[in-house]
Amino acid sequence: MRYMIKGKKMNYLKNNKGFTLVELLIVIAIIIALLSLAALAYNSYMVRYNIEKEIKDLYADLITARMRALYRNQQYLIQLATNSYTTYIDNDQDGQVDNPGDTPVDDLTKSGIIYDLTWNFGGNTSRIVFDHKGLANVNGRIRINRNNDAEYDCINVANTRIKLGKWNGASCVNR
């Protein structure tokens, strides 16, 4: 096919160069490398997101249980497990989970936590009790047992306060 440009004959196929196979393979390799980096960044983001979501959900449930204990003049009990927690209204006010005496609170209960919880309340207890004044019976911390870059990954629980924090390897530092 011949084209005329300003009076000169020009061969279309002669001046139209395409991509070589080597150039195409280099571009594909660069795209694969960039996609790999994006997948790693996304995975890291999702780990941080899930840790922060779970610790904030637990924090919100602790605050809600505390407020309900105060406003309803009832004792609330949170029983911690490695990958779940259950909240009860402690009807007999003994600080123990008594079935069928204590009433489970479904909206303040969570099972299937992705990352394991650990806690230290200065004893062998795995429960937090909020009395009718909203005061906790323990002082200590709850944390998600995973090294991460999340902004929040632990909770400090004191008799009068509940605070989100960041684990520094030795303690939970309030944020």
Q: What is the pLDDT of residues 73-98, one digit of tens each?
A: 999 999 999 999 999 999 988 888 88
Q: What is the pLDDT of residues 19-67, one digit of tens each?
A: 788 989 999 999 999 999 999 999 989 999 999 999 999 999 999 999 9
> Is residue 114 within 8 Å of residue 50, measured between CB atoms?
yes
Task: Tell me the pLDDT of the chain averaged across its residues.
Answer: 89
In this predicted model, which residue has the larger pLDDT, 6 or 59?
59
Q: How confident is the model at residue 168 (pLDDT cuts 50, 70, 90)?
A: very high
* Mean per-residue pLDDT, 128-134: 95
Level-2 CATH architecture, domain 18-174: 3-Layer(bab) Sandwich (3.55)
pLDDT of amino acid 20: 86
In this predicted model, which residue has the larger pLDDT, 88 or 2?
88
Place of tokens 């530092």: 173
Cα–Cα distance measured from residue 48 to residue 125, given in angstroms and rounded to the nearest whole number:
28
Q: How confident is the model at residue 8 (pLDDT cuts 50, 70, 90)?
A: low
Rounded to the nearest angstrom, the gap between the alpha carbon of residue 156 and the centroid of all alpha carbons in its chain is 16
pLDDT of amino acid 57: 96
Cα–Cα distance measured from residue 58 to residue 74, given in angstroms and rounded to the nearest whole number:
20
Q: How confident is the model at residue 10 (pLDDT cuts 50, 70, 90)?
A: low
Q: Which two three-digit tokens encode residue 9?
A: 């004959």
- CA separation (Å) from 31 to 17, 34, 116? 23, 5, 36
Which sequence spans correspond to the domains of the chain? 18-174
pLDDT of amino acid 98: 82
Rounded to the nearest angstrom, the gap between the alpha carbon of residue 141 and the centroid of all alpha carbons in its chain is 17
